[in-house]
Structure 1
Amino acid sequence: MPAIRQREKTRFVSSGTSCAAWHYPGSNGGCVIMAGGTSVTKEPASDLFAARFHAAGFSVLAFDHRRFGESGGTPRQIVRFDEQVADWHAAVDYAATLPDVDPDRIALWGFSLAGGHVFRVAADHPRPACAIAQTPLVDGRAVAPHALRSMTPLAALGLFGRGIADALGGLVGRPPLLVPTAGVRGTVAALTTPDTMDGDRALDPDGRHTTWEQTVAARIALRIGGYRPGRHASRIRCPLLVVVCDQDQSVLAGPAVRAAANAPDAEVLHLTGRHYAPFLEAHEQAVEAQLAFLRRHLVDGAHR
């Protein structure tokens, strides 16, 4: 097997906006495109899993959605679902041009909100050979009531008040009103479920990602309930691995299991633990299952 080179920074264009990415050159022709949810940038989102995929010979392209991290786009910290899905499409097209990548052996990998995006991209883009959705947000309508019950009434009023003010301010060009992406119950934050505060321990245990801005424009509170990417599951033609955590309090396991049942070629991996368990106590189980899935569809399947 050829020597595996270290990762290198690169950029690609999505609808006129420059998106920043890490490219890990691989040796087996397969490529895994990776991104994280809400305000999670490419390093905390992908470093732990990307290192294992890369060591197994896969190329990795881990990117920041526009308006976040090192990618372009203003105003900053605003989640617009259609924009982020367009960034995924652009990432797939860019990955297909990389010299170490077989264009017919590209996989998608996303977690949380980006895991939901994976459903849409896998349904609409003809190129992906397989896809992995880890603890995906597939049905905002099903999750929103649980998220609201995790907030105190005063904090919920504060969040939606800021969301309305943020949305109205955006119409007249005011800067976004930002809230923490995660917070403890009683604080005004985008999410205050019991497991949301596991994020730092899971994604940045050593505090290395000092430029990771863990905020989001408050208008997301008005829109997340209407985001239902799991509805696209029946149109996904590539093999799909859905990883759920049975004690997940942030996106819940049930909606993802139901969405996977509607996909023509899907399998579900159940893990014990909360939303971030694949980065913590269930990491080995998660990564070994994902590597086996990638080998089966990007390496063994290609040989057949």
Structure 2
Amino acid sequence: MIPCSTFKPSEDLEMSLQRITVKIPSVTPGWYLDAWKYLPRGYKAPHPIIIMAHGFCGIKEMNLAPCAEAFASAGYACIVFDYRRWGTSDRNIVDVAEQLQDFRTVIKYVRSQPEYDPGRVILWGTSLSGGHAITLASDVSLNIAAAVTQCPFTGVACKLPFSRAMVMTLCAAVYDWFRQILGLAPYYIPATGRPGTVGVLTYEHCLDRITETFPMIKQSQWNNQVSGASVFALMSYHPSSRASEIRCPLLMVVAEEDNLCDSSSTLKVAELAQGSIKVSIPTAGHFDLYSGQPHHEASLRAQMEFLQDNVPV
């Protein structure tokens, strides 16, 4: 196994992998999925392929590249993509059904490309996209070879204290829902904010940790807003309901001190999914598994070992 410490930005990366920017047509005419295509150098095609996307309101520029570079350096091809309402889009709407459809679109896309092995398609998700990986892995018709999740959303978010801001947030969600039914422009609220303010992710230290964990977002297309009705997308989504139907190998890296996605619910999913492997990191919070954070190396090492054991290059 290649040690994680060898994966760092350097000229060596250019020798071990190639990254190409591509646009994958979505099912909506004229809408594309902005994507990075990573190909390993020095490994014979067709390659096992890892499909990666971000969590709630996240875009690919937010620290997904280090993981993709690590996987590609070890011989795995990767597609890192943004959902059709994100990336270079300014729509900023979380629609779970559309996001799952976008994952399916990318799965179909990679299976049409000769450089990828159609029998070795791997799903990778973090936070909300971790829930998507669980949901799609349960669909046996997709013939997924394996799925990797870190701090996944399984349908249970940590509770926020009841407040006037919570009521105002729900009112904004209802207002936006009616606007979209009428074909009007979305009504936006902050995706994340301080505790006691209007917004979706208003957990303690959440805004500070996002700014600290993803400093590059100031130069990217990300802005801190989401349509109000996106709140309902989270409330009605329960990836854990399909966990018992999973038949492929599944890795769940659990941040035990996660204050966004309930870790006890994640551990229950790991018990339901047949053949699943869980790796618990006792002192890790939700953002501690990303590149540059305290437990990134432990999470990445567990992922690499899982991949090499279950879908070897």
Per the TM superposition, whether the score is higher than 0.5 is yes
Residues 1:25 and 2:39 are matched in the alignment:
yes
Q: Tell me, what secondary structure is at the counterpart of 2:300?
A: helix
* Shift in alpha-carbon separation, 1:252–1:157, aligned structure 2, 3 A: same
Q: Which moved more, 1:35-44 or 1:187-196?
A: 187-196
Q: 1:14 to 1:107 in 2, by over 3 A?
A: same
Unmatched segments (≥5 aa) in structure 1 = none
* Distance in 2 separating the partners of 1:227 and 1:45: 25
The corresponding residue for 1:275 is 286
The 4+ residue runs of structure 1 with deviation greater than 6 A are none
Q: The residue matched to 1:30 in structure 2 has which SS?
A: strand
Residue 23 of structure 2 corresponds to residue 11 of structure 1 = yes
Q: Which residues in structure 2 correspond to 1:1-304 (within 5 Å)?
A: 4-16=16-28, 17-26=31-40, 27=43, 29-70=47-88, 76-124=91-139, 125-139=141-155, 142-143=156-157, 146-149=158-161, 153-197=163-207, 198-202=209-213, 204-207=214-217, 209-271=219-281, 272-279=283-290, 280-299=293-312
Equivalent residue letter for 1:59: A
Give the deviation of 1:3 after TM superposition: 5.1
Deviation, structure 1 residue 220: 1.8
Q: CA deviation at 1:147?
A: 3.2
> 2:62–2:216: 8 Å Cα contact kept in structure 1?
no
Over 3 Å counting, the alpha-carbon distance change for 1:53 and 1:209 in structure 2 is farther
Equivalents in 2 of 1:51, 1:223: separation in Å?
31
Report if the CA contact (8 A) 2:94-2:233 is conserved.
no
Counterpart code for 2:286: H
Q: Is the 8 A contact 2:252 2:277 kept in 1?
A: yes
Could you say what secondary structure the match of 2:117 adopts? coil
CA gap 1:9/1:98 in 2 versus in 1, 3 angstroms: same
In 1, distance between residues paired with 2:173 and 2:235?
13
Query: What is the CA distance between 1:61 and its match in structure 2?
Result: 0.1
Change (3 A) 1:45 1:233: farther
Contact 2:61–2:216, Cα closer than 8 Å, also in 1: no
Shift of 1:223: 3.5
Q: Is the 8 A contact 1:195 1:249 kept in 2?
A: no
- Quote the Cα distance in structure 2 between the aligned partners of 1:163 and 1:231: 25
Structure with more of its chain in helix, by fraction: 1
C-alpha deviation, 1:298, in angstroms: 1.8
Query: How high is the sequence identity, in percent, across the aligned residues?
Result: 29
Deviation, 1:100, is 2.6
Tell me the amino acid that sits aligned with residue 286 of structure 1. S
Measure the CA separation in 2 of the matches of 1:225 and 1:207: 27
Contact kept? 1:243, 1:269, Cα under 8 Å: yes
TM-score by length of 1: 0.89
Instruction: Point out where structure 2 has 5 or more consecutive residues left out of the alignment.
Output: 1-13
Question: Post-superposition shift, 1:93?
Answer: 1.4
Is the contact between residue 112 and residue 134 of structure 1 (CA under 8 Å) also seen in structure 2? Answer: yes
Is the 2:194–2:205 contact (alpha carbons within 8 Å) kept by the matching residues of 1?
no
Moved more, 285-294 or 40-49: 40-49
Change (3 A) 1:207 1:69: closer
Q: Distance in 1 between matches of 2:159 and 2:185?
A: 26
Corresponding pairs, count? 289
Aligned partners of 1:44 and 1:209 also within 8 Å: no
Q: CA deviation at 1:207?
A: 4.8
Query: 1:184 offset after TM fit, Å?
Result: 1.1
Q: One-letter code of the match for 1:132?
A: V
Q: Which amino acid aligns with 1:166?
A: D
Distance 2:183 2:276 in 1: 43
Partners of 2:19 and 2:38 within 8 A in 1: yes
